[in-house]
Structure 1
Amino acid sequence: MARHTAPPPPFPRLEPFKVACSTCCLRHICLPTGLAPAEIEQLERMVHGRRVVPRNTVLFHAGETFESIYVVRTGFFKTSAIAEDGRDQVTGFQMAAELLGLDGICGGAHTCTAVALEDSQVCVIPYAKLDDLSRDFEQLQQQFHRLMSREIVREQQVLLMLGAMRAEQRVIAFLMNLLKRLQVRGFSSSSVVLRMTREEIGSYLGLTLETISRTLSKLQDEGMLEIRAREVRLLKQRQLSQLVRQAA
């Protein structure tokens, strides 16, 4: 009997750039921040288009030639790389107005794989053109460097979590960081919807799936959290912050 295999996921497709940078609701935390109207217009002309990336579809693979920077317009992504022991290690989660593809600048090829965790859209910016335009517009160069620095700081915070925090502290710090990032984008100040699985959170934090589940259940039993399916409501944020700051 012939085996029926599932069709491969559709390749990300490029659509016309319909929403201008000047009218985008994310412009205050994205590349156009601080640019003059004429500079924003040139930035808009540089953007190749908006790429639709369906859920579970790869935006780029590790090893692919680096050509573009991607700005998340809507949706949620995860990046992952193969660890020395062969495990697929989650290295980050990206949301609206955050950058994807920075890993390829150094060596000319991507070092991680980016996958959409839900139906998403990204703005595609050819890096060579961005580099050229940044030389002419100092404000654009400064903003791009700020966004790159934001990513570096986030990675440093993860390293601090992995090196100095207990399992419970890692989980709390992850949830509060996610809440803070979403709040800047206009979402709730008290709850988050987890687009990633608990297993993916564990991979990112260096914890097992069982530890993630046990920790969340413990915090809920203590009245710190309320969990409904994928929504997590942080009920006692002050106490949670204090737990994170406690010495290991």
Structure 2
Amino acid sequence: MTPQAIKVACSNCNLRELCMPMGLSGDDLGKLDDLVALRRKIKRGTPLFSNGDKFTAFYAIRTGFFKTCVATEDGRDQVTGFQMAGEIMGLDGIVGDRHTCDAIALEDAEVCVMPYERIEDLSREVPALQTHVHKIMSREIVREHGVMLLLGSMRAEERLAAFLLNLVQRLHARGFSSSELVLRMTREEIGSYLGLKLETVSRTFSKFADDGIVEVKQRHVRILDTEALRAIVNAPACN
């Protein structure tokens, strides 16, 4: 299939509100249609890009789930984030013209390829695009600060509760249930992201289930008591 045949029109995409600026004119939307070069299909378990690859584009996730990870000095993979449909990947490559992490598909996925050179050129014509890119970068900084807070000051229960609340909130913004989700990542990957051992993640899930907060069936999670999860995250620190 040719790039032209699989090219997606941003103006007709149902994820446009999540990954593109709001309130654009018809002319500006037409220009954004030219921003997306093509779609790429990524098979489960394969990389969208790898650490050290030359940075050429942003990637808007159209379908599927990804994880980003970096290799530690002892050879382990440290998960640094999970990304889903409507989110933008590839910002890590801007600073040094090369990617600094691996982006691995957790299920069969599809992304829209947006060449960075086109983004720079088009930002001069559509100021809202430049503002939107800055917002995306700012959101990543805020997300990293949130992860630092998770790893630096929260107990295991707080970390997992915050993770589940964040995940279901992001999925709900995409039209999914506000209380049910399917975990695309393994317990081990969750532990790597949250700085917890696999056994601790499994034990904490079991405690949440015993307390009637969640119902867990393998990778299917149903949140029975959202307020209880929020209370865990917002619990006052013990002196």
TM-score interval, smaller chain: over 0.9
Match of 1:150 among 122, 126, 139: 139
Indicate yes or no: 2:37 matched with 1:53. Answer: no
Change (3 A) 1:38 1:51: same
**Is the 1:16–1:50 contact (alpha carbons within 8 Å) kept by the matching residues of 2?**
no
User: Partner of 1:226 in structure 2?
Assistant: 215
What is the letter of the counterpart of residue 158 of structure 1? V
Name the SS of the counterpart of 2:215 in structure 1.
Answer: strand
Aligned position for 2:172? 183
2:141 pairs with 1:164:
no
* 1:198 aligns to 2:198 (yes or no): no
- Aligned CA RMSD, in angstroms, stands at 1.4
Aligned length: 236
Kindly indicate whether the alpha-carbon contact (under 8 Å) linking 1:15 and 1:52 is maintained by their aligned counterparts in 2: no
Sequence identity percentage: 56
Q: Report the alpha carbon displacement of residue 33 of structure 1 after superposing the two structures with TM.
A: 2.4
For 1:44, the equivalent position in structure 2 comes to 33
CA distance in 1, matches of 2:5, 2:204: 45
Is 2:82 the partner of 1:93?
yes
Report the secondary structure of 1:207's partner residue: coil
Q: Out of 107, 114, 134, which is 2:103 matched to?
A: 114
Q: For 1:99-129, what per-residue CA distance to the aligned partner results, in whole angstroms no more than 9, with x for missing partners?
A: 1110000011000000100010000000011
Structure 1 residue runs of 5 or longer lacking an equivalent are: 1-12
Q: Larger deviation: 88-97 or 150-159?
A: 150-159
AA paired with 2:210?
D
Matched residue type, 1:92: G
Amino acid at match of 1:112: C
Q: Is the 2:7–2:36 contact (alpha carbons within 8 Å) kept by the matching residues of 1?
A: no
Counterpart code for 2:206: S
1:228 offset after TM fit, Å? 1.4
Distance 1:19 1:119 in 2: 18
User: Tell me, which stretches of 5 or more residues in structure 2 are unaligned?
Assistant: none
TM-score, normalised to structure 1, is 0.91
1:209 aligns with 2:198: yes
Please list, as runs of the form range in 1=range in 2, the aligned pairs for 1:12-51 lying within 5 A after superposition.
Answer: 16-51=5-40
Normalising by the residue count of structure 2, what TM-score does the alignment of the two structures yield?
Answer: 0.95
Alignment partner, residue 134 of structure 1: 123
Distance, in Å, in 2 between the alignment partners of 1:115 and 1:163 is 26
Between 15-24 and 70-79, report the one with greater CA deviation: 15-24
Give the superposition deviation at 1:34. Answer: 2.6
How far off is 1:57 after superposition? Answer: 1.1
The separation in 1 between residues aligned to 2:22 and 2:102, in whole angstroms, is 28
Structure 2 residue corresponding to 1:238, chosen from 214, 218, 227: 227
